[in-house]
Amino acid sequence: MIDINTRIGWIGTGVMGAPMCAHLLSAGFPVCVHSRTRARAQALVDAGACWRGTPADVAGGCDIVFTMLGMPDEVESVYFGEQGLLPAVQPGRVLVDMSTTSPSLSRRIHDAAAEKAVRTVDAPVSGGDVGARNATLTVMAGGDRDTVASLQPLFDRIARVVSYMGAAGSGQHAKMCNQLVVAGTMIGVCEALVYAARAGLDCEELVEAIRPGAAGCWTLDNLAPRINRDDYAPGFMVEHFVKDLGIALDEAYRMGLKLPGLELAFDLYRQVRHSGYGRSGTQALVHVLRAMLME
């Protein structure tokens, strides 16, 4: 039973993790935080969160621990490392990984935690930095249904939609599907803007013209305006998107699927990263497409 005295742990205070954690803190829950760089968590500490030096320290004093990390190796270390969550977590606790990682890693975490009578949920999100700041994220949850349902009071503080997708790893599979759609949409939006510029159209007017119709989507609403004002700050970084697409490609191959659109997106985004935009937002794809236009 979650109440205002439920002790929350939060590990990972990046572009999305920090505002997500802040929503729980502002709701009055006692929150302990950890990140690789303390400075990234300082605003949360200043707002009342307690700092913990290791994931193990977080696990030792919290009822529910959330993780929001960038790369699978970080997830691996935070959960399985010598100072990680699993060696320190006590029976009856709940671990919620909101990172985007491989379904197989989520199942490994689930199985290892179950041996200690600890429940886990893989709960990746969609909605980017805007959704994190506005608490309008979409959560795709895998794990025990009752455990997911019990977390609803906390999910309600950071998300608008929570969908239960099935057993452990299913949330990550759903996130891979999400990223497939995002990748294809981003290619379409960026190509449309490159086409519009070459045709002599006003790109801002174009976006306003096509948004209400069948082309309307989150990417047009949120990222096309950033492209038009040359804003490539990350809501979601290219290097993380390359990671996600790589996971999706590996999973597709494992299932015997050939997905040419995914292969194209993976190749294009690796080019974006190679061009020096790995820490930029995913809208930086337009740079590669413009360069192709000039060849």
- Residue 183, class by beta-carbon neighbours within 10 Å (0-12 exposed, 13-18 middle, 19+ buried)? buried
Q: Which of 116, 175, 243, 258 is catalytic?
A: 175
Q: Sign of the CA dihedral 184, 69, 125, 41?
A: negative
8 A C-beta contact, residue 280 and residue 233: yes
Residues counted in the chain? 295
Report the Cα 167 to chain-centroid distance in Å. 19
- Residue 63, class by beta-carbon neighbours within 10 Å (0-12 exposed, 13-18 middle, 19+ buried)? middle
In angstroms, the Cα distances linking 113 to 65, 109, 248, 269 are 13, 6, 25, 35
Question: Can 175 be counted among the known catalytic residues?
Answer: yes
Question: Across the strands, what pairs with 10?
Answer: 33, 66
Active site (catalytic) residues: 175
